[in-house]
């Protein structure tokens, strides 16, 4: 089997319209060709050989070339002489020397866990892998996690305990078109990943408190009270079991634990579920009739169902429904999670998470530690144990016993973390904040040292999209002079810390090591090479070495559990961590809009996207607006127990009377959100909190606004 170092010319040969690569945004990883003309202009055209988009792009993809040429691009490292000083340009080696010296000093004075690392779900597999290794080998710290904890962790935890494996879609995305009925709980793919809609060809059921663009295309919209998705799943399962829709043959042959779940939903008759969720019992029955009466059906979850303090149990509730209907593992049917970030799948497989090692191995598993330590050339006893999860890590910064330094790669927690003003305060309490980024994000603006790095079309590497297909991101254009890749930054720091021989800046060398480190693990990449990805337009993991064809549908014959059976898991509904009351009488839910992406660090710097979505807003029902004396465009003050912000009103009957919506691409929404954590996944409760509303001006109402 050939060893892939820097990709060979045959792999990197330009396509007929430019270099064939992939979009920098969501987990569809749409295929595109990128060409730089003689005058420096970037041309983007879609590829039709990538099944996820098959020749389509959304507005974000079409304008992605502006990321490569915009004047907001960082090209020179920046550093402060002290916390009171301004960021000033410095040389790259000088910046790395400064960072390494301060890291060494902090580790010597306070121990290795005084230094922390925070990664991102948009990093390539090579970067995610090397970041986990860098934290544990070069720094010796257990304190590493990443922003994917805010995105996929609940679905990952639920899928792991039900199926023995977490892969967002355990089937090719093209299988969705074969499903006669699809239930999507908490996903708005028409705005978050528009090319996904071409796969939703038949009957669609949408669970969402808003009539989103996706819900408007559904045959049935279940307009749920925020925070009650699990009660809905329990009610739907009760109907399936009592009204003859369960596939008892499948349950007997392919599952375990059914009796306990059947008993646990016995009291969730649809009328009870209606009182909790606000969804009419008749609509629930219709949803189950559609799913149960179809020859093929799928249940998909998104962030709306997952970003809760009971997110893992909520996803489990929908998985239990899918198992009762006999869907997982059947061609054209199944359960899947619609992954959000560009490498949200691969980013959580290779060691960025606090509790994981490469190949989706657990860091507390002695055999896993021995295997990975052997690849890394270190003693297993020298590898740290599990660290803090993402929010817990950020919340501990600068506190007694907490990390005193933080290195951030590919994330912007000042905008994306819950209780964001508090997190900004924790960052300010650090002795050292280092940010590697493409632009001066809100987080980078607080840093002591900012390191400019290459971006999507300026580097080679692999990404794993929402269906578990490992794709090749090709370098299409040269980066600005002097800008270094994240791998080079890690390798440079590792060398200064005495571990240079163990780290490479070459993505091919890093990927080859990743393959060896993942071998034998649940996410086995050992049989995947750059050449093979290029020849096959991606390879589905697991793909062990020895000519394995890859695994597009891992659950067809058995589930990767000890007995080959999927697990029913009893779960119980509980209210949101924060309920509405007289002081905070409305629900706030958050999400995305079509023209912006994640924290907006990239998209808010593209003129065409800013023209389409220039600023934040608060969406509310006309009846609520009338009670507040608010008309379209008026400023509205939104206050939660954690903070306050102001946004212009959008008035629409598409949202519930008791609920308001804000997008999280701008600072503001996450000043309000609740950091209450799921006990299993450690996911914060982004999707529901209680707020007070007033028309414009200073914060009004209960007077409990806090800035941190």
Cα–Cα–Cα angle for 248, 253, 259, rounded to 5 degrees: 55
Cα separation of 462 and 79, whole Å? 31
Look over the chain and give the mean of its residue pLDDT values, rounded to a whole number. 94
Cα–Cα–Cα angle for 154, 160, 161, rounded to 5 degrees: 95
Instruction: Match 């508090």 to its residue by tokens.
Output: 422
Question: Which range among 61-70, 139-148, 483-492, 586-595 shows the weakest confidence by mean pLDDT?
Answer: 61-70
- Which segments of the chain belong to CATH 3.40.50.740? 78-150+353-540
- Per-residue model confidence (pLDDT) at position 152: 86
Residue 646: beta bridge partners?
A: 637
The CA dihedral of 552, 554, 556, 557, to the nearest 10 degrees, is 140
Matching CATH number, 154-338, of 1.10.10.10, 3.40.50.10330, 3.40.228.10, 3.40.50.300: 3.40.228.10
Alpha helices per DSSP H over 141-280: 153-163, 189-192, 229-242, 248-254, 258-264, 270-277
* Closest-CA residue to 390 (of 349, 421, 425, 348): 348
Angle between helices 229-242 and 281-293 (to 10 degrees): 60
How is residue 347 written in tokens?
A: 């980013």
The tally of CA atoms less than 13 A away on the side-chain side of residue 149 is 33
Helix (H, G, I), strand (E, B) or coil at 697: coil
166, 468 contact by CB (below 8 A): no
Give per-residue pLDDT as tens, 550-571.
Answer: 999 999 999 999 999 999 999 9
451-470 average pLDDT score:
96
- Per-residue model confidence (pLDDT) at position 130: 98
2 pLDDT more than 50: no
Question: 84 CB contacts (<8 Å, ≥6 apart)?
Answer: none
479 pLDDT more than 60: yes
- Per-residue model confidence (pLDDT) at position 698: 53
8-12 average pLDDT score:
49
Determine the number of helices (DSSP H) and then strands (DSSP E) in the chain: 25, 30
Residue 210: beta bridge partners?
A: 655
Burial code (b: 16+ CB inside 10 Å, e: under 16) for 105-126 equals: ebbeebebbbbbbbbbbbbbbb
Cα separation of 299 and 293, whole Å? 14
- Per-residue model confidence (pLDDT) at position 18: 64
127 to each of 121, 359, 478, 574, 672, how far by Cα in Å?
A: 10, 14, 19, 38, 32
* DSSP characters over 501-524: GG--S-HHHHHHHHHHHHTTSSS-
Largest CA distance in the chain: 71
* DSSP characters over 57-77: --HHHHTTTHHHH-TTB--S-
Instruction: Match 């945004």 to its residue by tokens.
Output: 25
Cα separation of 704 and 708, whole Å? 12
Q: What share of the chain has pLDDT > 70, as a percent? A: 96
Matching CATH number, 78-150+353-540, of 3.40.640.10, 3.40.190.10, 3.40.50.740, 3.10.180.10: 3.40.50.740
- Per-residue model confidence (pLDDT) at position 38: 80
701 pLDDT more than 50: no
- Per-residue model confidence (pLDDT) at position 705: 37
427-431 average pLDDT score:
98
Other C-beta atoms closer than 10 Å to the C-beta of 624 total 19
446 to each of 409, 424, 431, 571, how far by Cα in Å?
A: 14, 8, 12, 42
Matching CATH number, 586-695, of 2.30.30.100, 2.40.40.20, 1.10.150.650, 2.60.110.10: 2.40.40.20
Cα separation of 4 and 462, whole Å? 12
Matching CATH number, 9-69, of 1.20.140.90, 2.60.15.10, 3.40.190.10, 2.20.25.90: 2.20.25.90
700 pLDDT more than 50: no
* DSSP characters over 360-378: TEETT-HHHHHHHHHHHTS
Asked if omega into 542 is within 30° of 0 (cis), the reply is yes
- Which segments of the chain belong to CATH 2.40.40.20? 586-695
Other C-beta atoms closer than 10 Å to the C-beta of 141 total 24
Pairing of strands 674-677, 635-639: unpaired
Report which of residues 40 and 217 the model is more confident about.
Answer: 217
671 pLDDT more than 50: yes
User: What's the pLDDT band for 83 if we cut at 50, 70, 90?
Assistant: confident
Mapped to the 3 state alphabet, what secondary structure does 419-431 carry? Answer: CHHHHHHHHHCCC
Helix (H, G, I), strand (E, B) or coil at 18: strand
Give per-residue pLDDT as tens, 602-621.
Answer: 999 999 999 999 999 999 99
- Per-residue model confidence (pLDDT) at position 402: 98
Helix (H, G, I), strand (E, B) or coil at 595: coil
704 pLDDT more than 60: no
Distance separating the N- and C-terminal Cα atoms of the chain: 54
The CA dihedral of 651, 304, 392, 101, to the nearest 10 degrees, is -80
Give per-residue pLDDT as tens, 366-405.
Answer: 999 999 999 999 999 999 999 999 999 999 999 999 999 9
Give per-residue pLDDT as tens, 207-266.
Answer: 999 999 999 999 999 999 999 999 999 999 999 999 999 999 999 999 999 999 999 999
Length of the chain (residues):
708
Question: 638 CB contacts (<8 Å, ≥6 apart)?
Answer: 588, 618, 644, 645, 646, 647, 660, 662, 672, 691, 692, 693
Cα–Cα–Cα angle for 177, 182, 689, rounded to 5 degrees: 130
Cα separation of 214 and 211, whole Å? 8
Cα separation of 659 and 688, whole Å? 9
Cα separation of 441 and 412, whole Å? 7
Cα separation of 113 and 135, whole Å? 10
User: What's the pLDDT band for 11 if we cut at 50, 70, 90?
Assistant: low
DSSP 267: T
1 pLDDT more than 60: no
User: What's the pLDDT band for 340 if we cut at 50, 70, 90?
Assistant: confident
Pairing of strands 689-695, 586-591: antiparallel
- Per-residue model confidence (pLDDT) at position 546: 87
Give per-residue pLDDT as tens, 108-157.
Answer: 999 999 999 999 999 999 999 999 999 999 999 999 999 999 988 999 99
Other C-beta atoms closer than 10 Å to the C-beta of 77 total 26
- Which segments of the chain belong to CATH 2.20.25.90? 9-69
User: What's the pLDDT band for 6 if we cut at 50, 70, 90?
Assistant: low
322 pLDDT more than 50: yes
How is residue 402 written in tokens?
A: 């907490």
641, 690 contact by CB (below 8 A): yes
- Per-residue model confidence (pLDDT) at position 7: 55
- Per-residue model confidence (pLDDT) at position 36: 87
Confidence (pTM): 0.95
- Which segments of the chain belong to CATH 3.40.228.10? 154-338
């Amino acid at each position: 089997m050939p060893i892939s170092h820097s990709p060979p010319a045959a792999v990197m040969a330009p396509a007929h319209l430019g270099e064939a690569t992939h979009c920098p945004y969501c987990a569809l990883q749409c295929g595109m060709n990128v060409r730089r003309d003689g005058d420096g202009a970037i041309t983007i055209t879609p590829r039709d050989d990538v099944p996820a988009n098959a020749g389509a792009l959304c507005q974000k993809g079409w304008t992605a070339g502006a990321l490569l040429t915009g004047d907001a691009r960082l090209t020179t490292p920046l550093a402060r002489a002290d916390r009171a000083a301004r960021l000033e340009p410095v040389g790259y080696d000088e910046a790395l020397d400064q960072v390494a010296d301060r890291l060494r000093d902090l580790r010597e004075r306070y121990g290795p866990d005084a230094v922390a690392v925070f990664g991102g779900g948009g990093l390539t597999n090579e970067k995610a892998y090397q970041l986990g290794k860098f934290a544990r080998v070069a720094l010796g710290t257990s304190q590493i996690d990443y922003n994917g904890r805010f995105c996929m962790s609940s679905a990952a935890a639920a899928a792991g305990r039900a199926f023995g494996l977490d892969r967002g879609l355990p089937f090719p995305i093209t299988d969705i078109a074969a499903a006669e009925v699809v239930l999507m709980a908490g996903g708005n793919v028409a705005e978050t990943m528009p090319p996904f809609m071409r796969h939703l060809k038949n009957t669609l059921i949408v669970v969402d408190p808003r009539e989103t663009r996706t819900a408007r295309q559904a045959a049935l919209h279940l307009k749920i009270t925020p925070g009650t998705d699990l009660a809905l799943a329990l009610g739907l399962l009760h109907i399936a079991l009592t009204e003859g829709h369960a596939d008892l043959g499948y349950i007997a042959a392919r599952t375990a634990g059914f009796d306990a779940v059947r008993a646990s939903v016995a009291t969730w008759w649809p009328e009870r579920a209606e009182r909790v969720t606000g969804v009419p019992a008749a609509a629930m029955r219709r949803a189950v009739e559609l799913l149960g009466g179809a020859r093929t059906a799928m249940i998909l979850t998104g962030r709306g169902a997952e970003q809760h303090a009971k997110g893992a149990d909520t996803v489990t509730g929908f998985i239990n429904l899918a198992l009762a209907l006999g869907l997982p593992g059947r061609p054209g049917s199944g359960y899947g999670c619609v992954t959000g970030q560009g490498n949200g799948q691969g980013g959580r497989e290779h060691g960025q998470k606090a509790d994981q090692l490469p190949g989706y191995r657990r860091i507390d598993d002695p055999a896993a530690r021995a295997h990975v330590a052997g690849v890394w050339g270190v003693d297993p006893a020298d590898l740290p144990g599990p660290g803090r999860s993402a929010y817990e890590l950020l919340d501990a910064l600068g506190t007694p016993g907490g990390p005193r330094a933080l290195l951030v790669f590919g994330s912007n927690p000042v905008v994306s973390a819950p209780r964001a003003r508090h997190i900004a305060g924790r960052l300010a309490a650090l002795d050292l904040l280092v940010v590697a980024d493409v632009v001066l994000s809100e987080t980078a603006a607080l840093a002591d040292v900012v390191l400019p790095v290459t971006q999507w079309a300026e580097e080679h590497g692999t990404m794993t999209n929402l269906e578990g297909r490992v794709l090749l991101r090709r370098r299409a254009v040269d980066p600005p002079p002097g800008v270094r890749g994240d791998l080079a930054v890690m390798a440079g720091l590792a060398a200064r810390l005495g571990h240079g021989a163990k780290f490479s800046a070459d993505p091919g060398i890093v990927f080859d090591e990743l393959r060896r480190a993942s071998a034998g693990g649940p996410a086995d990449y050992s049989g995947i090479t750059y050449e093979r990805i290029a020849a096959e337009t991606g390879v589905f993991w697991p793909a062990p070495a020895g000519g394995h064809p890859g695994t597009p549908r891992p659950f067809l014959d058995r589930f990767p559990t000890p007995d080959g059976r999927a697990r029913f898991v009893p779960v119980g509904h509980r209210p949101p961590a924060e309920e509405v009351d007289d002081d905070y009488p409305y629900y706030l839910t958050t999400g995305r809009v079509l023209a912006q992406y994640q924290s907006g660090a990239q998209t808010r710097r593209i003129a065409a996207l800013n023209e389409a979505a220039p600023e934040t807003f608060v969406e509310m029902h006309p009846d609520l607006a009338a009670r507040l004396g608010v008309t379209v465009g008026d400023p509205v003050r939104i206050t939660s127990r954690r903070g306050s912000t102001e946004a212009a009103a959008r008035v629409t009957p598409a949202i519930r009377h008791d609920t308001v919506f804000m997008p999280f691409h701008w600072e503001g929404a996450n000043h309000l959100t609740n950091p209450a954590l799921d006990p299993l996944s450690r996911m914060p409760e982004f999707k529901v909190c209680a707020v007070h509303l007033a028309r414009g001006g200073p914060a009004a109402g209960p007077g409990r606004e806090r800035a941190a």
